[in-house]
Amino acid sequence: MTPQAPQWRGQVAPGDERKEDSGISAGVRGYLIGLVLSILLTALSFSVIDSVFLWKPAIPVMLGVLAVAQMGIHLVFFLHINTGPDNTNNILALAFGVLIVAFVVAGSLWIMAHLNENMMPMDKLMDLHKQR
């Protein structure tokens, strides 16, 4: 008779704790893994800046990829956001927050791009200033 696989195998997300692992050591282990991965990604980001092996226009793209990976590490290991059924509200709240931030950034960029179109021409502005 073959032993059965544990119930938690394949059902636990990478920063989540198993039911059998209760106590301080289980929580600390997840945070330490997240800390080590975050430090590695940060060091890699600094090394990408000084790299002579990367094509110069690819450096911002690589930094963006590393930043997204860093955000993923923080979401999984520190904020414990995963795809489990009990985290549906957390994922919806995160998606709503990202949507609001995207609207604010897009609106700010739109305003800055169209700022000159809405300004009074300089010669008319100087005429108004001289009339005072």
Break the chain into its structural domains and give their ranges: 1-82, 85-132
Q: What is the pLDDT of residue 70?
A: 95
Give the DSSP H/E element, type plus range, for residue 130.
helix 122-131
Q: Tens digit of pLDDT for each residue in 24-60?
A: 777 788 899 999 999 999 999 999 998 888 888 899 9
Task: Report the percent of the chain where pLDDT is more than 90.
Answer: 39
Average pLDDT, the chain: 82
How many other CB atoms are found less than 10 A from the CB of residue 73?
Answer: 20
